Amino acid sequence: MSGRRGLLPAFAQIMLAIGELDDASAAAQELAESAELQRNVLFRAQAAFALGSVKLAANDPAGALMDLRTALGLWLGLDAPYEVARVRVLIGRACAALGDEESSITHYEGARRTFTELGAAPQLDALATLTRRERRPDGLTDREIEVLGLVAAGKSNAQIASALTLSEKTVARHLSNIFAKIDVQSRTAAAAYAFEHGLS
């Protein structure tokens, strides 16, 4: 059990990175249950971070913020600056999604300072990419823009899944999120939006 539990934080992040939200959510829940049973502060911090990450990926920034603030407090207590910075990036994303630009900038700047002090160049590059992406139309993510471009090219869900190495279920979820963000009801309207905004 301890060996499996040790792999769960990384597994959850890997599943999120490839768009497999259901698997990431299951790992985060298992991690949270383990943390509750063992009453270990480190496990609780990892669990809160994983739960917040999953909720953010599932377009629940308000729910994510609650878990991420818990994670932030726990990592601060553990004096783990790198982990604190990682959480602050996600809190910044959640705040941006909720329209709280001031708080978002504050957390991004805090994370940037820490990554700079630690010499974490890849994380600084990722943060720079993130802040550029958030200036894109209607808050579309990189993955959503990829999906939208393929919709505009006339690709089916199956073809999009194959092109992006995703499941059709994940593609369908991305499309649902895209339609909600850009306020359209059909693939034709989504394609028109992509053409109008130079995303095709």
pLDDT by residue (tens digit) across 17-68? Answer: 898 999 999 999 999 998 888 888 999 999 999 999 999 999 999 999 999 9
- Delimit the domains of the chain by residue range: 2-135, 139-196
Under a CB-based contact definition with an 8 Å cutoff, are residues 94 and 139 in contact? no
The Cα 19–Cα 8 span in angstroms is 16
Under a CB-based contact definition with an 8 Å cutoff, are residues 166 and 19 in contact? yes
Dihedral over Cα of 171, 177, 180, 182: its sign: negative
Q: Residue with structure tokens 């999604």?
A: 97
The Cα 113–Cα 20 span in angstroms is 31
Three-state secondary structure string covering 15-40: HHHCCCHHHHHHHHHHHHHHHHHHCC
Under a CB-based contact definition with an 8 Å cutoff, are residues 177 and 144 in contact? yes
pLDDT tens string 149-177: 999 999 999 999 999 999 999 999 999 99
Under a CB-based contact definition with an 8 Å cutoff, are residues 49 and 12 in contact? no
CATH of 139-196, one of 2.60.120.10, 1.10.1660.10, 1.10.10.10, 2.50.20.10: 1.10.10.10
Q: What is the CATH number of domain 2-135?
A: 1.25.40.10
pLDDT at 137 over 90: no
